[in-house]
Structure 1
Amino acid sequence: MTYDSPTPTSPKAPDTAQILNANRRALAGLIAIRVLVTALLVAGPVVVSRATGDTSFLLVLPLVAGVFVFIFTMYRVLYGLRVLQCARVLREYPLEFHPRVLKKHERWTRYGDVFEVRVTTRGQHGAPLMLAVPAAGRRGWPEGVEEGAWVAGDLPFGGVMVLPRTHAMLFLKPADWDKTARKREEADAERRARAQRARLMDRTKRAVMMRPGA
């Protein structure tokens, strides 16, 4: 069962290798900046204290800030696991163009922004609400969604959404896993085996959906 199909006016599909490389670089750059900020916050007070002999309590504050930046950086490292998840999906499913993606809601979590979206398909009704998480860890709704998006996967199980202009990549899972259970149960053995290979058979865990197995 094909859940959706390209429209006759679909643009040329982007190269999945370029998409994955762009998101890996974006994630690496984000982590590198945070590591640099952490190092400056930790090393700065030490250098000042040794140079001036000052042991003021104020010099401890940057150290505390540095610890918190480091902790949040570790949360961002978890996005690297989500990029790997997206790569598995892109190996199993082709990209198909959808001219309209609607953002319904969004919420902030310490792991990153989680969006609730509906991926509409021409000629079909009842598309499930999906949770979408930027794979590279950047916050904020990505630009270019109004121009349509490429989707790989099987929506009752999950998938990947790619924006053609920016190569932003978002991991998708049903917003209500239990509500879409019947559609998964009705899937034939081939669809279920494909979803298993793409690691899309597991339930979504709300705020921690970026963790392995989420």
Structure 2
Amino acid sequence: MNTSQIRDVAAAETAPAPYSTDGTDFRGALKYYYGVALKKFAKWGIPWVILWAQMFAWPMEYRGYMLPFSIVGMIGFVFTVFLFGGRMRLTWRCSRVFRAYPLVFRGPVEKVKLERPLRFHLRFGKQAEQLPTLLAKEPLGLNRWPEGIANGVWFAGDDPFGGAAIVPGTGELLFMQPSEWGLSAKERDTAGEVRIKQAKRAGIKKAVSYR
């Protein structure tokens, strides 16, 4: 890869999001993420289905030769469905949070640890030691820190329960909950009826299996 290609890749990775990331409207981000998940499913799922189904287009005496290809196609399709389900489910979880909490700018963000693959450990604020470390994941499988996240994000949620965020500029969605769920149990138990009901409405009253 030459220098110009490297610059092109870097620019693509940090390009502004094709939707508003100023905290005024989360719907554009959700629509984009749902759309990308569907496009990725179509891009990979359809070829795998064709590879699986092509065996039935051959005369019976030749189907034995095509069976290995059909098996590979079936395995590939199942894996594609698994990825698609995960992307849609995590985007839906972000959607529930955004509809239950207002977006508030939180910053700075301390980048505690990048856990490969696909997970981020972070904390909010200058008094970060007083707040829980949050384990975050991006629905489409981002495995690098979003550009500029240290400056802050648009966050919806409640720290002891978790929440969702949009990164300004590049627009990544992040779903997050405390990385050590049990350590925040006291804060959740004493949060009060209003906060607990709001967390339940957002789907973050309990730890979820997005990890």
User: Do they superpose with TM above 0.5?
Assistant: yes
Q: Is the 8 A contact 2:132 2:178 kept in 1?
A: yes
Q: 2:170 aligned to 166, 169, 179, which one?
A: 166
CA RMSD of aligned residues (A): 2.6
Partner of 2:23: 13
Residue 46 of structure 1 and its aligned partner are, at CA, apart by: 5.8
2:93 maps to 85
Which residue number in structure 2 is paired with residue 149 of structure 1?
Answer: 153
Identity %: 25
Question: Which structure 2 residues correspond to residues 130-145 of structure 1 after superposition, within 5 A?
Answer: 130-135=134-139, 137-141=140-144, 143-144=146-147, 145=149
Q: Does residue 1:60 correspond to 2:63, yes or no?
A: no
* In 2, Cα distance between equivalents of 1:92 and 1:104: 28
What does residue 196 of structure 1 align with? 200
Pick closer, same or farther for the CA change 1:103–1:152 going to 2, 3 Å.
same
Residue 49 of structure 2 is matched in structure 1 by 39
Q: In structure 2, what residue type is equivalent to 1:18? A: G
Say whether the 8 Å CA contact 2:22–2:168 is kept in structure 1: no
Name 1:184's counterpart in structure 2.
188
Higher normalized helix content (fraction of residues): 2
Amino acid of the structure 1 residue aligned with 2:108: P
Q: Matched residue pairs, number?
A: 187
Instruction: Summarize the alignment of residues 111-126 of structure 1 with structure 2, pairs less than 5 Å apart.
Output: 113=118, 115-126=119-130
- 1:104 paired with 2:74, answer no
Gaps of 5+ in 2: 1-20
Alignment-mate amino acid for residue 24 of structure 1: Y
C-alpha contact 1:195 1:201 (8 A) present in aligned 2: yes
Counterpart for residue 5 of structure 1: none
User: What whole-Å deviation, never above 9, does each CA across 1:116-172 have from its counterpart, x for those lacking one?
Assistant: 41132134533212221222x334235323453221101210100211223221211
TM-score, length-scaled by structure 1 = 0.74
